[in-house]
Chains A and B, each alone.
Chain A
Amino acid sequence: MWKSLWSKGSFCLAASLLICAVFSCSTLPAADLHTIIVGDTDATDLMPGLKFDVNNMRAESKNIAKYSGLKLKEKVFLGDNSRTSLVLSQLKNLQVQSNDTILFYFTGHGYRTRSKLDNPWPNLFFTFEDYGIDVNDVVSILSDKKARFVLIINDCCNTYLSEAGAPFLAKEMVHGFKATSNLKKNYQNLFLNSRGIIVIASSKIGQSSLCTEKGSLYTLAFLASLDIETKKAPNIVSWQTVLDQATYKVELKAQKYDEEQNPIFLIE
């Protein structure tokens, strides 16, 4: 009898442990999606395009969170909040876990100087302050966070200004709902299972980036490409394809305007 009770008891204990284990696994804190969206809406000559950019990117962030299962932690810098010190301190103080994803997005004016040499990334311009942030600094700060995946999108010009005329760089002492069955897996592949860092500039060294009244060419192309690719069959979607498609769309659209805009990206 004792033996039978003992074996029943051990079975119950094992079952309870298993249930506990299952529950504890399922209630593990979800990985976060930290989005930092910056729109320099003080650049009145680019309005209302920039507002569309920011709204489109915010909507896409919600999609990413919804389909990937990442928990969205959004920070938006617009108007009076679009200041170098606020953006840099947000980046610097961002609390990130090793399985989190970070998405940094900037839309506004951009520039570069000859002294940047072969550094291909532009400086992000903040109109009200007349100050810039070097994308290299953004990359450096966010790389140090050791997040699982970092995506940095800079939709701005990459044209030269003379050293004398160029704005100072702010150095923070831092140095709608889609419904297809593939979306979830594709968003998870891109944002939950990817590792490393991707840096994007909407135009190559010396080039302008174009902005229409409906938004910036690159932002519109990136979001369109993401939309198309995430609806495809799972396991064939990759960042390379998403970014290649976005690049192609931008180049084609710019050609129609008799302009050249060649986005650049780095996947590491």
Chain B
Amino acid sequence: MDFVIRNILYLICVCFLVTLFYSCSNINEKKVSPKLSGRLGSTTISQIQSAIPVTISRVKPKTKFSSPQELEVLGPVVQFSDSQRNALLNLLLEDNSYQFEFTKKCIFYPEFMIRFGADSKVILLFSPSCNQCKFYTSDGGILLDYGPSKESFADILSL
């Protein structure tokens, strides 16, 4: 009988330790929501998660806008602190931050640019007039509507 109880306790301890290990190892990896994952792809998401530094700047299109290369940077480039970066990732990688049902028929006019990593493998542009943002990678741009969390994004953009 003692042997059985000891084994059960042993099993419970092992389960607890395994759970603890997994939760600690994922502490810096924001769980990505499925809709967003479907749009951006796992590679882009892991690039965003691991990117350091993350910077933000005001921008405007030089003439006709079609890619981040055609933007003029206005003013200083600000680097996110660790806590700011975490807050950004929490917001950015959450399905509830976006709506996926419709697209607004507005012109995308970028006013802010966030660069992820020194090599800027991912660039995120914001067009606040219609609460739209575009993730750029080497594969092109993905447009998203951040209407549901526009206030939180406005706070981040005002850094």
Interface size on A, residues (CB 8 A): 32
Interface hit among B11-19, B84-92, B104-112, B113-121 = B104-112
Which of B103, B147, B148 lies at the interface centre, i.e. has the most chain A CB atoms within 10 A of its CB?
B103
Which A residue's beta carbon lies closest to that of B148? A258
10 closest cross-chain pairs (CB), A and B: A208-B104, A130-B64, A210-B102, A157-B106, A209-B105, A45-B143, A157-B105, A212-B102, A156-B105, A211-B103
CA of A108 to CA of B130, assembled, Å? 15
CA of A107 to CA of B60, assembled, Å? 26
Is A257 in contact with B105, judged by CB distance below 8 angstroms?
Answer: no
CA of A157 to CA of B64, assembled, Å? 19
Given the interface pairs A45-B143, A165-B60, A165-B61, the reply to whether A209 lies near B104 with Cβ below 8 Å is yes
B129 partner residues in chain A, CB cutoff 8 A:
159-161
Contacts A/B (CB < 8 Å), 11 sampled: A45-B143, A46-B103, A46-B105, A111-B106, A157-B104, A159-B130, A167-B107, A208-B105, A208-B106, A208-B130, A211-B104
Is A216 in contact with B105, judged by CB distance below 8 angstroms?
Answer: yes
Residue from B102, B106, B147 in contact with A217 in the complex, judged by beta carbons closer than 8 Å = B102
Is B108 in contact with A45, judged by CB distance below 8 angstroms?
Answer: yes
Is A210 in contact with B104, judged by CB distance below 8 angstroms?
Answer: yes
CB distance from B158 to the nearest CB of A (A): 18
A109 on the B face (CB < 8 A): yes
B99 on the A face (CB < 8 A): yes
B residues with CB within 8 A of A: 60-61, 64, 99, 101-109, 129-130, 143, 147-148
Residue from A49, A111, A125, A162 in contact with B103 in the complex, judged by beta carbons closer than 8 Å = A49
- Extra pairs beyond A211-B103, A257-B101 (16, CB < 8 Å): A46-B103, A109-B105, A110-B106, A130-B64, A157-B106, A157-B130, A159-B104, A159-B106, A160-B129, A165-B60, A202-B105, A209-B104, A209-B105, A210-B104, A212-B101, A217-B102
Is A109 in contact with B60, judged by CB distance below 8 angstroms?
Answer: no
CB distance from B100 to the nearest CB of A (A): 10
CB distance from A23 to the nearest CB of B (A): 50
B130 partner residues in chain A, CB cutoff 8 A:
157, 159, 208
CA of A259 to CA of B64, assembled, Å? 29
0/1 interface trace, chain A 143-187, chain B, CB 8 Å (1 if under): 000000000000111011110110100000000000000000000
Residue from B99, B105, B143, B147 in contact with A108 in the complex, judged by beta carbons closer than 8 Å = B105
